Chains A and B, each alone.
Chain A
Amino acid sequence: MRRIFTLFFMAIAFANCNDLDADNEAQVTIQFTHNWDGFVVDDTTFNSFQFQTANGENVSIERLRYVVSQLELVGNRNNNVLTQDYNLVDVGNGTGLQLSSSNVITGDYQLRFRFGLADADNQDGVYQDLNVASFNVPTMLGGGYHYMQFDGKYKDANNQDANFNYHVIRAANVSNPSSPVFLDTSFTVDLGTITIRNDAVIEVEMNVAEWFVNPNTWDLNVLNTVLMPNFNAQLLMSQNGKSVFSLGPVTQ
């Protein structure tokens, strides 16, 4: 009996060893998807007034690009996988929607990234691909890069088409040019723990509607364009942005 028990125990130990061996490397893909309260937002749903903000304005999306940075899978064995320093997602062009990292050791990971660029990374003109994409912020507003360029149209109070440029940048108050005030309004998004067992595709969802609500109900009739130099509008955007991302399905 004892023997059998020992054998059994050994078998378990072996199985465990095997398990450890099997905790091999996987390919992990982060996929950015976009929706408006559940309805798909992509280039096929651009350019038509099919979305409505919490405040009641009908909206047509024409351009949606944003930067995420410091994207990492944080392992519980000090095995952080830095997937990308920064990445420009362009929903209309369908570029930057997928990031892959091979050689990810299976196990538990926390997925997190920063929306926009932290001040230390937000240096003027240093990223050639972002320069070429014309993603820069004018020097007069502190330079660096947009966090997001979200352009479209809304139906105004007279049901006329009007434009909005929901551009998110580091908040800047330059009304007194001799003492400008800047505030890093980029923020960390923590999507919780994911167990990687195999090659996996992790969906990161942006609910675009959330930019217009929670905690601040956004009135496009009031805040529509010239928001870059509007310090207060940048604070509101940053607050609303914190509920925009969530973890979608993980397939593996």
Chain B
Amino acid sequence: MKKGVLLGFLIMVLAACSSNTPEEYEPIPYTLEIPTLFQQKLLPPVIPANNPLTVEGIALGKKLFFDNILSGTRTQSCAHCHRPQDAFSHAFQFSPGANGNLGTRNSMPLFNNAWNYDELFTWDGKEFSLEGQAFEPVTNPIEMNGNWQDIEQLLNNHDSYPELFRQVFGAGRIDSTMVVKAIAQFQRTLISANSKFDRYLLGQETLTPEELNGFNVFMDEAKGDCFHCHGSDNNPLWTDNQFHNNGLDATFTDLGLGAVTGDPNDNGKFKTPTLRNLVYTSPYMHDGRFATLDEVIDFYSEGLQNSSTIDPLMKNVNQGGVRLSAQDKSDLKAFLLTLTDPEFIRDPAFNR
């Protein structure tokens, strides 16, 4: 009888212990600080219900983003091609992958991507959601050339990762889904909204007459007419996140959206890039063909190539383009440079 009681007691203690042991750690919810202009002008950012932001999740995502462990050779991280000092793009036309192979597309800057409401990522929109996108470069042979099985094993046997993952996702084996969720959380915190032009809109700074004229060229349907695709004072993302053929080529080596949808009417269409932080994101276009903004502006002014899928907004293609005066060109460039946000590239939260 005594033994029985003791046993019962022991069992109770053990039960109490075991219900406590895999101590449920509750990660701290993180609320995105939404910039005033975004709050005023834009719909709320996209944060999937199954991947809410947490302080620990973001920190883990940042660590993974900068960690070579995600590549087959253990020599390359996301940050190799998405460098903080380049506004998370890369100064190379094509970035070498872990094995030194070159792709055919220019690396893209990573910021304000939580405000891409259709959640279509990469130049041709083939990836859905930030979570979905993050699977791709890890295993792409010309990018990080990794193998998820190996990477999961490395992470599970690592001396610090298991604890960090447990804090975010609870107990259990680390898998690739957790990896991409954490990286996506970090990416959603990459927000750039403190350029000279933002401060001008908030009444905190004035623009030079050249910059103001450049903005007018951008907004004037009879001049640059850039705002129909690239945002405006009322769409401070400076992109519509839609796909257009802006007249780079008469024939296409890279079909862009057309290869994804299979619709020939989509051939030569690529996602409109944001015009924020252009100083840091050269070279330009999906194939990085233009090294300077002057080349880009000359292209829109007189270098357009006609094709059946060119966007009708490239209205003067038969005259080569919008034909800007030298003064308007240089003012347009001055305006574009007011979309630069130096604080973004220096932010310690975004640097290793």
**Chain A interface (Cβ within 8 Å of chain B)?**
46-47, 62-63, 124-125, 128-129, 131-134, 136, 138-140, 149, 151-153, 160-165, 167, 224-226, 228-229
Contacts and interface: CB of A to CB of B under 8 A. Distances in A.
Given A163-B314, A165-B312, A165-B315, A132 B221 contact: no
Given A151-B313, A153-B312, A164-B312, A132 B265 contact: no
A125 B312 contact: no
A89 B240 CA distance: 17
Interface string B216-227: 100111100001
A240 to B, nearest CB: 19
Interface stretch (B136-144, B177-185, B231-239): B231-239
B229 interface: yes
Given A128-B42, A136-B235, A225-B316, 15 more contacts: A124-B234, A125-B40, A129-B43, A132-B42, A134-B227, A134-B232, A134-B240, A136-B232, A139-B219, A139-B233, A151-B313, A153-B312, A160-B318, A165-B221, A225-B221
Contacts of A132: 42-43, 117, 235
A131 B42 contact: yes
Nearest to A125: B234
Contacts of B233: 125, 139
B175 interface: no
A151 B222 contact: no
B42 A165 contact: no
Contacts of A228: 221
Contact of A46 (B265, B314, B317): B265
B306 interface: yes
A140 B317 contact: no
A47 B306 CA distance: 15
Nearest 7 pairs between A and B by C-beta?
Answer: A163-B312, A138-B219, A151-B312, A225-B315, A125-B234, A47-B265, A136-B234
Interface residues of B, number: 31
Contacts of B265: 46-47
B41 to A, nearest CB: 5
A106 B154 CA distance: 66
Please indicate which of the listed interface residues B41, B43, B220, B234 has the most CB atoms of chain A within 10 Å of its own CB.
Answer: B234
A128 B43 contact: yes
Contacts of A128: 41-43
Contacts, number: 76
A131 B228 contact: no
A62 B220 contact: no
A229 to B, nearest CB: 6
B327 interface: no
A62 B43 contact: no
Nearest to B44: A128
B308 interface: yes
Contacts of A131: 41-42, 234-235
B313 A165 contact: yes
Nearest to A162: B318
B162 to A, nearest CB: 41
A63 B309 CA distance: 12
B222 A229 contact: yes
29 contacts: A62-B312, A63-B312, A124-B234, A125-B233, A125-B234, A128-B41, A128-B43, A131-B42, A131-B234, A134-B227, A134-B229, A134-B231, A134-B235, A134-B240, A136-B227, A138-B219, A138-B221, A139-B219, A139-B233, A152-B312, A153-B312, A164-B312, A165-B312, A165-B313, A225-B221, A225-B315, A225-B316, A226-B315, A229-B222
B311 interface: yes
A167 B229 CA distance: 14
Contact of B315 (A125, A139, A140, A163): A163
B313 A138 contact: no
Interface string B107-129: 00000000001000000000000
A161 B306 CA distance: 9
Interface in B294-322: 306, 308-309, 311-318
B221 to A, nearest CB: 5
Contact of A229 (B221, B232, B234, B306): B221
A164 B40 CA distance: 33
B232 A138 contact: yes
A149 B221 CA distance: 13
Interface string B30-48: 0000000000111100000
A91 B235 CA distance: 22
A177 to B, nearest CB: 11
A131 B117 CA distance: 12
Contacts of B229: 134
A156 to B, nearest CB: 8
A164 B311 CA distance: 10
Nearest to A224: B315
A224 B117 CA distance: 32
A199 B285 CA distance: 51
B114 to A, nearest CB: 13
Contacts of A163: 312-315, 317
Nearest to B43: A128
A162 B219 CA distance: 22
B223 to A, nearest CB: 10
Please indicate which of the listed interface residues B117, B265, B312 has the most CB atoms of chain A within 10 Å of its own CB.
Answer: B312
A250 to B, nearest CB: 33
A24 to B, nearest CB: 36
Contacts of A225: 221, 315-316
